[in-house]
Amino acid sequence: MVLLKPKAVHVFKIDMIIAVIHRLRVVFIPLLLAMQVFLGVTADAAKKVYTPPPGSAERRILLEVMRRKVLELSRLDVLFVVKEMNLNSGWAWVHTLPQSKDGAGRYEDFIAILQKKNGRWRIAEIPCTEPDNADCLDSPNYVSHLRKRFPDMPTIILPSEMIKK
SS (H, E, C) 33-74: HHHHHHHHHHHHHHCCCECCCCCCHHHHHHHHHHHHHHHHHH
Which pLDDT does position 8 carry in this prediction? 53
Which pLDDT does position 42 carry in this prediction? 44
Which pLDDT does position 40 carry in this prediction? 40
Burial 50-66 (b: 16+ CB within 10 A, else e): eebeeeeebbeebbebb
Which pLDDT does position 161 carry in this prediction? 84
pTM over 0.85, yes/no: no
Which pLDDT does position 137 carry in this prediction? 87
Please name the residues in contact with 131: beta carbons below 8 A apart, sequence gap of 6 or more.
Answer: 138
- Residue 91 near residue 112 (C-beta atoms within 8 A): no
Residue type, 54: P
**Average pLDDT taken over every residue of the chain:** 83
Which pLDDT does position 44 carry in this prediction? 41
Which pLDDT does position 37 carry in this prediction? 44
Give the residue ranges of the chain where pLDDT is below 70: 1-14, 16-46, 165
For the sheet with 78-88, list strands across it. 78-88, 91-100, 110-117, 120-125
CATH number corresponding to 57-163: 3.10.450
Q: Where along the chain do its domains lie? A: 57-163
Which pLDDT does position 141 carry in this prediction? 87
Which pLDDT does position 57 carry in this prediction? 97
In the chain, the largest separation of any two C-alpha atoms, in whole Å, equals 104
Distance CA 136, CA 134 (A): 6
- Among 120, 112, 126, 164, residue whose Cα is nearest residue 143: 164
Name 112's bridge partners.
Answer: 94
